[in-house]
A and B are shown apart, each in its own frame.
Chain A
Amino acid sequence: MNTGITGENKMENKEWSAPFFRPFNAVGRVVIEWVDHLGAATIFLLAALWKSFRARQFAKVVSQLYYIGARSTAIILLISLFTGMVLGLQSYHALAKFGAQGAVGILVALSLIRELGPVLTAIMVTARAGSAITAEIGIQRISEQIDALQTMRIDPLKHVISPRISAAIISFPILATFFNLVGIIGGYISSVLLLGLNPGIYFNSIQANVEMKDITDGLIKTIVFAVIVATVCCYQGYYAHQRKDSHGAKAVGMATTSAVVISCVLILVADYVVTSFLM
């Protein structure tokens, strides 16, 4: 059938309309790239988790537990103390307007156990250990250390990634629990010791109102965050050499930045999603 449009005309039409489609093309490319990364990261996570249960992993997991967990404890305790103190301070003055100072304990405890403990722990560990994990794995990648493992038939996923993900899943709930406990003590310091609230009222309101579900929901969130942080940080480092925006040391730097930013964003998004499912 003769459409009246020659091949040349078709080409001209295409060129004329190209600027119009350019933004759609760009958005499409980004979406496809994201879906691609999401799929790759999921497979990466599942493969690493599967390899956690293989032989000779225990010592490596313990070593990573020390690095991700034990060495993050001090900063977590410090942050949680001041978070609890400021919560106690703010809520005391706010509740005093309604004569409800007695609810300070429960407000501090529930805020920490349900929200602030898991979220702030995850963000702090991302900043302290997650960035270091990305940088370390990224350097191993660009200096061919990961290739060297492959040539020795040592599975890099099993040797490098799996222990870090396992250690994160174990250490996040423990760190979040410390965060909650010290945060409650911080609330006690500001509201009871500094502002004069009755200590019995503070602890009694916590004991009477905090339920087991609050604690388990908080712990479920920490595990979700642990999976997100460990996967994103390891994945960014592992594929630092494939970045299109940079090469070499710069790629490691960019990967580290991306890991921290993506982890923090995903923590907050996941927090909303998980909370809405648990409510």
Chain B
Amino acid sequence: MTEPLIEFKDVTKSFDGNVVLDGINLKIYEGEVTTIIGLSGAGKSVLLKHIIGLLTADSGTIYYRGTPVSQMTRQEIKDALAKMSYMFQSNALFDSLTVYENIALPLQEKTNLGKDEIHRKVMARIEQAELAAEIDKFPSELSGGMQKRAALARALVTDPQIVLFDEPTTGQDPVRKNAILGMIAQYQRKFGFTAILVSHEIPDVYFISNRVLALYDKKIVFQGTPEELENFDHPFNDEVISSLEAFQKELTGLYSLRQFKMLNSAQLKRKKSHEPYSIVVFTLEDVNSITAHLGHDAVHEAIRRMCLYVDKHFGILGGLSTRFNTSEIVTMLPHSDITETRSILDEFVKDFKGQGISDLRNWTGVRRLVAMSGSVTFTIAAGIAEGQAVTKVETVIGAARENKKAIWTATMSRQGVNI
């Protein structure tokens, strides 16, 4: 078994007699994205602050790479903290410094890099956070969303090995929320850092998380994969997950994966064993290339449009749709056979070509378009499969994936859009 990077054993913390963490036990592994979920005020930020050393536990032990922090020398703790970075829930930007100065500060103070090298690194992060027009502004002159992105850029500018994100998407619009999660996932894959997130964005955050920790009633009640959490039988699932899932409709208007599973199972139980149902799988292809050319926002705007049109055409006929992963949407039509489903899909394609994508160029900022070299292709692929009430939904989804083919393509370049 791999040794955890960080481990809590019976950690307790209280403020003025008010117990916030009560016997916390958890494990965080290196190179993974671990998300801590729980209701507001549950103590998630307090937990995170114990990891970065801003708070100390009243009792219990915190281990770093198997060694109790209390037994580490000052230098060892310093070295461990040097590898970490923390993005505050309140952003904690220095209000008397500009955006550029805020992001440059950790490099200026803690590295021996030259001015040019610092400028290059800072500008790279500023570009990624889409804050190039705001570099000379002070935090108070930025919107809440921009402040969040500036804080994200500052947290990542030192290329840390462990990054702690305290609600990185709070205050963002639905597209930007997913874009930030996408950015975290992309950086994590690229640089291989260990990410520890506190987030409410269920289920979107599941798509980027390797492990989920559930904080409930001052204790960690669950540690495992997002899939395992779906089957976790505990009041946490009813009280917390259900209430948080309501927010996910903001972006997609679709059901959560858990709701989708519950509803399709209920539908299939009502049908006779030989009655057919259909599954359609939609995918936005080559997401990495779109991200590289046009940024995360464009990807998530495309997915949002897809979801709206899927819901418009399939939802009206009783279709149950969910976002399966970042770029895949699955729709189940419990009362339609494959022929009917195909004709609905044709209507969907016609409508999408006509209106759904008409303002494709507006999804990206003018600056990105001007800077774009070459062209980028948006491709939506769809696959259809039919099953009978006795056939497992997962099997039909697999068959639909096999049948996938491109149903819509648009190529965007500086000159224009070619659909």
Contact with B along A148-163 (1 / 0, CB 8 A): 1011111000010000
User: In the bound complex, do residue A151 and residue B52 qualify as a contact, i.e. CB atoms below 8 Å apart?
Assistant: yes
Place the interface of chain A in its size category.
Answer: 10 to 19
Given contacts A150-B54, A153-B81, contact A145 B106 (CB under 8 A): no
Q: Which of B53, B95, B109 has the most CB of A within 10 A?
A: B109
A203→B78 CA distance, assembly (Å) = 61
A26→B394 CA distance, assembly (Å) = 72
Chain A hits for B106, CB < 8 A: 152, 154
Q: Does A10 contact B (CB under 8 A)?
A: no
Q: How far is the CB of B128 from chain A (nearest CB, A)?
A: 19
Q: How far is the CB of A273 from chain B (nearest CB, A)?
A: 36
Q: Which residue of A lies closest to B106 (CB)?
A: A152
User: In the bound complex, do residue B110 and residue A154 qualify as a contact, i.e. CB atoms below 8 Å apart?
Assistant: yes
Given contacts A145-B94, A145-B95, A147-B54, contact A152 B110 (CB under 8 A): yes
B203-260 at interface with A (beta carbon < 8 Å)? none
Q: Which of A136, A143, A144, A148 has the most CB of B within 10 A?
A: A148
Q: B109 is contacted by which of A139, A140, A145, A154 (Cβ under 8 Å)?
A: A154
Q: B85 is contacted by which of A139, A140, A145, A151 (Cβ under 8 Å)?
A: A151
Q: Does A56 contact B (CB under 8 A)?
A: yes
Chain B hits for A159, CB < 8 A: 109
Q: Which residue of A lies closest to B97 (CB)?
A: A145
Contact with A along B86-112 (1 / 0, CB 8 A): 101010111110000000011001100
Q: How far is the CB of A52 from chain B (nearest CB, A)?
A: 16
A144→B154 CA distance, assembly (Å) = 15
A159→B108 CA distance, assembly (Å) = 12
Q: Which of A140, A143, A152 has the most CB of B within 10 A?
A: A152
Q: Which of A56, A136, A151, A159 has the most CB of B within 10 A?
A: A151
Given contacts A144-B92, A145-B95, contact A151 B84 (CB under 8 A): yes
Q: Which residues of A contact B (CB under 8 A)?
A: 56, 136, 139-140, 143-145, 147-148, 150-154, 159
**Closest CB pairs A-B (n = 4):** A148-B92, A151-B86, A144-B92, A152-B106
10 contacts between A and B (CB under 8 A): A140-B94, A143-B92, A145-B95, A147-B88, A148-B86, A151-B52, A151-B81, A152-B85, A152-B105, A154-B106
Q: Which residues of B contact A (CB under 8 A)?
A: 52-54, 78, 81-82, 84-86, 88, 90, 92-96, 105-106, 109-110, 158
